[in-house]
Amino acid sequence: MGYMVDKMRNMSFRQYSFEKKLRDIEAEMSGRNRSFLPEITDVNGVVSEERIDSFIAANVDRIEEYGTANNMWRENGFRSVTSEHMPDVLREYLSDFMYLAIKVILTEDYLGDEELVELPVSTFEQIYMMAEELGSGEMRYDDVFTEFYCGGVQRANLLAYCDSLYELLSGEKIKSLITDEMLDRANKLYEKDVERINGSYQEIEDLPEEIREEMEDWSESVTGEEMPELIGICDVQNPDVFCTKYRRFREIYFSDELPQDIDLANVVKRMLNIYLCSINASSYGFEDAFSDSYIYMKRAQRMVSYAAKKHAEGGADD
């Protein structure tokens, strides 16, 4: 039994490593491994709010043009869209997402994440990763659940970083942004798994013991005094703008203004790829570069196939 467990553990690690390498190659092809800092800094290398706004607008304008021409909005859940433009709520959501993601990526804490140390500083790929890490459907309310009962999102996603920044910049607890409807939907996520007390949860003390212990352990590991050190340094030039955008982003994210089946990560990925092509920073935009890269990938595929057959015939033991 122990041998098989180790074998499966090795298999999982190798699969993860292989898939990560494939992703790295695609990011190289698309140009998303490129830093976006030159797009948002002035001639002195200083981050500029005006350039951030221009950068975001350019990205959103390009995906709107592409999406409208290719019926992208109806494919992402906007069944009733008949206009020639991106739905206003999606434009606002994408713009706020980009702004918040950029601000978070510029924090010292995010750049120190062990998963990101191999990447150049502040890349387009990191923006895409931020979109991937967000929940969808009813699972969005898992984050509300942990925000309310232990004071913060447990997953390292955009909300987790923005919650901390929002509390520091606004002086308000993130609980103040949680409505009764949001909390009710969060509680219902666990309705089938745990016995609810008196029909609803009001505080962490009301939670079933197995969940309460986990929440308390996590909460104790992050004290208020440690929070500024955990989130690192973020040069938020306009705190009011950040807080306003985050409040609105949450309003849209935790509502039904966006279709439940929208694939935000795919929209963001397509948006970034189109922008990179437009500034000649993507191999997808050059026939010769794409053709050469595609040939190299086919060669690599043949070598992988050869290696698999060779070791299968040899009866590799692990």
Residue 281 has pLDDT above 70, yes or no: yes
Q: What is the pLDDT of residue 194?
A: 43
Q: What is the pLDDT of residue 17?
A: 84
Residue 153 has pLDDT above 80, yes or no: no
Q: What is the pLDDT of residue 233?
A: 43
Span 8-12, average pLDDT: 75
Q: How confident is the model at residue 131 (pLDDT cuts 50, 70, 90)?
A: very high
Q: What is the distance between the terminal CA atoms of the chain, rounded to a whole angstrom? A: 14
Span 104-120, average pLDDT: 56
* Distance (Å, whole) CA 61 – CA 63: 6
Render pLDDT for 175-201 as a digit per residue (tens, 0 to 9): 899 988 888 888 887 665 444 434 444
Residue 80 has pLDDT above 70, yes or no: no
Residue 93 has pLDDT above 50, yes or no: yes
Q: What is the pLDDT of residue 35?
A: 93
Q: What is the pLDDT of residue 50?
A: 93
Domain edges within the chain? 31-285, 291-318
* Distance (Å, whole) CA 14 – CA 165: 36
Rg, C-alpha atoms of the chain: 22
